[in-house]
Amino acid sequence: MNNCLMLVDLQNDYFPGGNMTLAGMNKAVAKAQLLLKEFRKENLPIVHIRHFSTQPGSTFFLPETIGAEINEMVPPIEDEKVVTKNYPNSFRETELLKILKETKINNLIICGAMSHMCIDATTRAAFDHGFNCVVAEDACATKDLIFKGKTIRAAEVHASFMAALSAPYANVLTTIEAIEKIR
């Protein structure tokens, strides 16, 4: 059972004061920190995913800005991989699949942001590549969305995407449940 933790887009722009503040980001990163500590304690592989916005008109995750840096609560260290992406799907045009295959990873524990975008796209892609996925739902965050003039609150957006991922794409668990699963 080869487990790998993927921390997706836990970057400064998503935190209070950033250019795209998410609802509940501080709570989500505290849970992600628990996963990170557990994986480090067990000496298990960790991959940090960061997004650099390269599309014209982008307002957050701009390369070479503080907002694009991985937050200080979950910084990469020494031999932990950092994969830079430009799309919601962490596998698209990155070396992520190669890294996971080289380290013979079967199981991914995924957390980060945004639930409705990069967590969704990355989890579905991982499943399509044959990985067993766990999404630590309380270590993920999102934002309010507007659709046809109606505001959908972040909690509802998050719950809807976690429900959609829960079958067949991932086992959607709390952080504590995910930690118990890898022990």
Q: Per-residue pLDDT averaged across 136-163, rounded?
A: 98
DSSP 7-56: EE--BGGGSTTSTTPPBTHHHHHHHHHHHHHHHHHTT--EEEEEE---ST
Q: What is the mean pLDDT of the chain?
A: 97
Residue with tokens 């995407």: 161
Domains and CATH numbers, the chain: 3-182 (3.40.50.850)
* Spatial CB neighbours of 154, under 8 Å, sequence gap ≥ 6: 22, 23, 24, 141, 142, 143, 144
Residue 18's pLDDT band, with cuts at 50, 70 and 90, is: very high
Assess contact for 25 and 73: CB atoms under 8 A. no
* Per-residue model confidence as pLDDT tens digits over 91-112: 999 999 999 999 999 999 999 9
Residues β-bridged to residue 171: 134
pLDDT at 1: 61
Residue with tokens 């990069």: 118
Tell which residue, 3, 5, 21, has the closest CA to residue 13: 21
* Per-residue model confidence as pLDDT tens digits over 37-48: 999 999 999 999
Q: Is the entire prediction scored with pTM above 0.85? A: yes
* Per-residue model confidence as pLDDT tens digits over 163-176: 999 989 999 999 99
Integer angstrom CA distances of residue 63 from 73, 96, 171, 179? 20, 19, 33, 33
Angle, vertex CA 111, rays to CA 108 and CA 113, nearest 5? 135
pLDDT at 66: 98
